[in-house]
Structure 1
């Protein structure tokens, strides 16, 4: 058996410790991040459309670098990420928090606009309008107030309130009317009185003659179907009673009454659908004049152009 000096064991042990320590130091150095790197990485995830990851990374930035001046912008970006993933309630909560201490900065204004858009996407149109009214009440910049009036007008358009939309657009200051194409919008809104409509009550009364109500609502195939089915059942019931087949005639009459009532209901529904379709077509025509919402918000090294697209 060969014995090695104790010093040999000591040297090898010391070397192992140094290697482990060096490896640990390298690993520690690799895990160390600074505010700039973390913010850039979070923004890169946002820019690439990985919004769920962007939320995590921006929240990590906010947690570890809470005193960094970019924290408000990071919070705003988390709200935008929630908005872009359809989480409008979560987005509204973040934007609402950013509107509390309003200072009139571009980011504050954009938070108000995004709060309104988040509520609108949730179907909370009255609340979305209230958000814009609140902004107009505390903002001092004419451009901001006019932008709010413009978006308020479109919320009225979305609800089919043509007169209210016209009033909102008309309140935009003369200096910004060309920018928002107010004259063109008001000319288009003036055509709302010419939207063709059908009276549901008239459609119902016309349906005393099966199919006439559907014909009035321009549902020609439905009109023919209603006429043939109801006429056939009426004829069959008449023939049954004429041949003293009262039981059969009663059954056919009962079934025929159901189809006849359905014919009236269908005619009324056809008139309502006709009106909804014409309003939707008119709204689509107006939406062709809608400007995509653009705004400037502060970002590292200057300002960023923010574009919001509604689907």
Structure 2
């Protein structure tokens, strides 16, 4: 009976004491949470970074680093290839533009996010909006530099030259404007093949391919078409009209394909020449460095465009 009484009284007291002595209360502070979120982003764990920065925003909504944390979630989405999600975040941060480094970077990242989605014209509009809002010469020159490269990516050589040429004298050396303009001046020397000419020359099978420097294709087209024409001729000459008609039908398909292939070869040749020229221009493309604010100073942001 006594043992039962001791158990009956002691058990509740033991259970009441367990929360205080059996479990340690977990607490987080703003600095630790932000550092951990940033460490996940720096290590490439972008999904974890998004979750941790969002946790920071949720638990510390009054912290001055909330805008920077939200920006970093956009960066994480961008690195993960989720450009639409990144653009939504950066677009939100461009509202109420005040000219801070973070505001500027939000505009640049918004433009890059749109460009990665193939929305080049919208990316250009984003940069023009920043150019109109900003009063900083350095920011405006960075805008013009990135505008130039958007035009380069689209093969708009004259528009690119005009954008680079608008960079202020103080920053022309920094952005290597002289080298860029010298390289863009060579755009007129890009060799091109005219698709219409290639198709016309293909009246003689293989002539169009020969024009576009596809010598093996030219020989193949000539031999196949010549062989089919000869076979059809021999069939008709031997009064094998059904066989001759069938070979002629097949031969017409090969002949039409020879013309179509020559026109396509001209387009491919031109595309390859433009890509090769663009690659030479890309050798002048610089790593973009910029500053974004943080409560204890500034964070260095590095962007490599390609």
TM-score normalised to structure 2 length: 0.97
Q: How do 1:83-98 and structure 2 match up within 5 A?
A: 83-98=78-93
Mapped partners of 2:8, 2:119: distance in 1 = 76
For 1:200, the equivalent position in structure 2 comes to: 195
For 1:10, the equivalent position in structure 2 comes to: 9
**Aligned-residue offset at 1:128:** 0.4
For 1:289, the equivalent position in structure 2 comes to: 284
**2:100 aligned residue (88, 93, 105):** 105
**2:40 aligned residue (45, 48, 59):** 45
Mapped partners of 1:215, 1:271: distance in 2 = 10
155-164 or 297-306, which deviates more: 297-306
Unaligned runs of 5+ in 2: none
Mapped partners of 2:221, 2:93: distance in 1 = 58
In 2 relative to 1, CA 8–264 (structure 1 residues): closer, same or farther, beyond 3 Å? closer
Unaligned runs of 5+ in 1: none
The reply on whether 1:19 has 2:18 as its aligned counterpart is: yes
**1:149 aligned residue (144, 151, 168):** 144
The reply on whether 1:260 has 2:277 as its aligned counterpart is: no
For 1:117, the equivalent position in structure 2 comes to: 112
**Aligned-residue offset at 1:285:** 0.2
The reply on whether 1:58 has 2:53 as its aligned counterpart is: yes
For 2:163, the equivalent position in structure 1 comes to: 168
Mapped partners of 1:87, 1:81: distance in 2 = 9
DSSP 3-state at the match of 1:224: helix
In 2 relative to 1, CA 19–235 (structure 1 residues): closer, same or farther, beyond 3 Å? same
The Cα RMSD (Å) is: 1.3
Mapped partners of 2:217, 2:209: distance in 1 = 6
Work out whether residues 195 and 266 of structure 2, in 8 Å CA contact, stay in contact via their aligned partners in 1: yes
Mapped partners of 2:61, 2:12: distance in 1 = 43
**Aligned-residue offset at 1:16:** 4.1
Equivalenced residue count is 306
Mapped partners of 1:142, 1:3: distance in 2 = 88
TM-score normalised to structure 1 length: 0.95
- List per-residue Cα deviations over 1:75-102 (Å, max 9, x = no partner): 1000000000000000000000000110
For 1:249, the equivalent position in structure 2 comes to: 244
**Aligned-residue offset at 1:142:** 0.4
In 2 relative to 1, CA 219–18 (structure 1 residues): closer, same or farther, beyond 3 Å? same
DSSP 3-state at the match of 2:193: coil
